[in-house]
Amino acid sequence: MTRTPSIASPEVVTYDGLPASAGGAHSLRAKRPDKAFGHLQGFMGACIEPVSSPSWVFEIAAGGEAAPTASLVGLASERFGGPRHRSRTHTEWNVRPDVVNDALEVLAAAGPDAVTTHGRSLAALTCSTPVRLVDPDVGAPYPDITPDAFGCFVVDGYGRILGDSGIRATLGTAGSSLSLWLNLPADERLAAGARHLQDNLPFRLSAKHWRVWRPTRSGDSYRSTRIPSPL
């Protein structure tokens, strides 16, 4: 009989900003995508270390005016090649990291009036990547906040794992946002780590989405409890 390995590390604190029930993401508080990108770069440079190369995707939504949409599709195909995906609702292109600035130029050319009939961004550049948070006291990732440290415990049906942080940024013609799944140590380093994150973000972290995860009595699973903001 295969035995589930016991969990070695006792606790971890997570910030889920924001869950789908609360809108899905924080606003990057910038009307222009290039300025939102600057906010994103500042946060990434100060607070995180990517686990792998970020995945960048350029998307054009259906539901906009025909002429601007056609112009955008033509420009995107010229810059990024053939789309990777087409559907009734949108078209997607892979964007290499070295041509992210080209994607920002396409968004700038579209302008803030490039929206769908529902007022959403007609075009957007999305970045998704797993990351490790940096301990501000040492300038390197927390060595004990890793998936292996928490038994690779799966939090939900979206594949999120304790010890494995991640971000998803969307830079759009009608607005930009950042979704966060962050894992911090549940000890004396927590307050400084949370403050470091807050000092490098253009929005206020929610007080309602912090949780501490502790092993169950059997030691082969975790349970979570909401905690006050450490800020």
**Tens of pLDDT along 130-185?**
999 999 999 999 999 999 999 999 998 888 999 999 999 999 999 999 999 999 99
Which pLDDT tens digits describe the chain residue by residue (231 residues)?
333 444 445 899 999 998 776 778 999 999 999 999 999 999 999 999 999 989 999 999 999 999 989 999 999 999 999 999 999 999 999 999 999 999 999 999 999 999 999 999 999 999 999 999 999 999 999 999 999 999 999 998 888 999 999 999 999 999 999 999 999 999 999 999 999 999 999 999 999 999 999 999 887 899 999 999 999
**What pTM was computed for the model?**
0.91
Task: Please count the other Cβ atoms lying within 10 Å of the Cβ belonging to residue 118.
Answer: 9
- Which tokens is 81 given? 């090649």
Closest CA to 72 of 122, 117, 121: 122
- Which tokens is 126 given? 């999305």
> Average model confidence (pLDDT) for the chain?
92
From residue 206, how far is each of 133, 189, 200 by CA, in Å? Answer: 18, 19, 15
> Which residues make Cβ contacts (< 8 Å) with residue 128, sequence separation at least 6?
54, 55, 57, 166, 167, 168, 169
Q: Are 115 and 174 in contact (CB under 8 A)?
A: yes
